[in-house]
Amino acid sequence: MSRLTVSQGAAVSIGAVLGTGVISLPALGAQAAGPASLVAWAALVLLSVPLALTFAALGARYPDAGGVATYVRRAFGDRLATVVGWTFYLAVPIGAPAAGFMCGAYVAAAFGGGTRTVLLTAAGLIAAVTVMNMLGLRVSGRVQLILAGVLATLLLVATVSALPHARLSNLEPFAPHGWTAVASAAAVLVWGFAGWEAMTSLAGEFRNPARDVPRATVIALAVVGVLYLAVATTSLATLGPATATTEAPLAELLAIGVGGDVPSDAQVRGGADAVKAITAVVALLLTLGTMNAYFAGMSKLGAALARDGALPAWLDRGSSAGEVPRRSIAVTAGLASLSLGIAAALNLGTAQLVLVTVGAFVLVYVLGSAAAVRLLPRGTWVHRGAIVALAASLALLPTVGPSLLWALTVAVAALAYHRWARRAPAVQADACSLVETKV
């Protein structure tokens, strides 16, 4: 039976949270708010502490594949549990193509091919993580541990080697789009901090959830916070205004660190072909780690939702600890592939997919932290942290704005399914009674 160790669990968390954010979000944040995006970065790192520890406390007390849906069910009942479960489960297939597009930009920059390369990269990543998870969590956990170690080292090399080229003058003007733009940057950057909730569905896979989940979370918090702030600050201080115009900020940092090639404001110049190839590999590994963590968590969630009646019963195989939910993995992969096809047909951009996914995640955070406020022991530090997490999650709602539309649509569909699922047995029972009466 598969079990996660503390180190593997920390690696899965790091992969889920760090992932694609570090390769693309410095540029997206700079586009929204310039150097002032660092304020949004710092705020979200601080927000991650109570949020991550809140979900860790819930996972330690209620280790179940249902994750956030299980906590919401305990706190508020089946109806809201179905809503949060569906919202989370259906957000990942939209986020998967977005992650693939971020990675594909690096691969295309290194090897050419433009949009075709981007789409093929996204499709290949979806296929790869599907196979990894079909082989079982033990394989995925070990792979994730290796990826986390390699990637942390490479990110440190990129930032440390580029740091001598940093200039404080590159941070001026600090808020070129005004201070209100910090909220816009935060709305995009939430993508980079989504993932703490994904581990809740894997809490039952730890050898000792009560002890191991909090330990893994604390390790992941420290690593993610340091690396995010290091990469974002170094990118802005080294690249200056060019940070907002490049699709591959990490590639630029490596180019500068290796060859001292500092791009001008007018034109961002890539490094040598070898540097581009290295950064493409880094992007592939980061994205693979992120998608692997989410597919592992969401496949477990899907099986648990089916077990609890929130999804069709045939999907419930693999909900128990140590089991591989292959049917749910297949559904997740199929929906992600469908989402990729729709995004390609409609020519949807990365930012659009990111905002839609973020809207769903914020709704999950609100309901999950609200459940924590009700479930965690009052008067404890974890309960106080849950209150802070809930307040912060509610504060994020206005920043995502129209992006909540998809999440609300899914919520309505979930409520309709919940009502139908509850009525179906009664209708069948009435039909059987009618037949017996006639007989």
DSSP 118-173: HHHHHHHHHHHHHHHHHT-HHHHHHHHHHHHHHHHHHHHHHHHHHGGG--GGGG-S
Q: What is the pLDDT of residue 77?
A: 92
CA distances from 368 to 81, 224, 390 (A): 10, 21, 8
DSSP 8-state assignment for residue 323: -
pTM over 0.85: no
Q: What is the pLDDT of residue 269?
A: 45
pLDDT at 87 over 70: yes
Instruction: Give 268's pLDDT tier (boundaries 50, 70, 90).
Output: very low
Amino acid at 42: A
Average pLDDT, the chain: 82
Which residues are bridge partners to 4 per DSSP?
206
Superfamily of domain 6-438: Amino acid/polyamine transporter I (1.20.1740.10)
Domains of the chain: which residue ranges? 6-438
Q: What is the pLDDT of residue 385?
A: 92
Amino acid at 98: A
Q: What is the pLDDT of residue 9?
A: 79
Instruction: Give 429's pLDDT tier (boundaries 50, 70, 90).
Output: very low
Q: What is the largest CA-CA distance in the chain?
A: 89
Residues in the chain: 439
Rounded Cα–Cα distance for residues 158 and 14 (Å) = 18
pLDDT tens digits, 353-390: 888 888 888 899 999 999 999 999 998 999 999 999 99
pLDDT tens digits, 124-134: 999 999 998 88
User: Of the spans 129-143, 264-278, 370-384, which averages the highest pLDDT?
Assistant: 370-384
Rounded Cα–Cα distance for residues 427 and 42 (Å) = 54
By C-alpha distance, which of 361, 303, 276, 319 is closest to 94? Answer: 361
Assess contact for 19 and 7: CB atoms under 8 A: no
**Neighbour count for residue 290 (Cβ, 10 Å):** 31
Assess contact for 195 and 91: CB atoms under 8 A: no
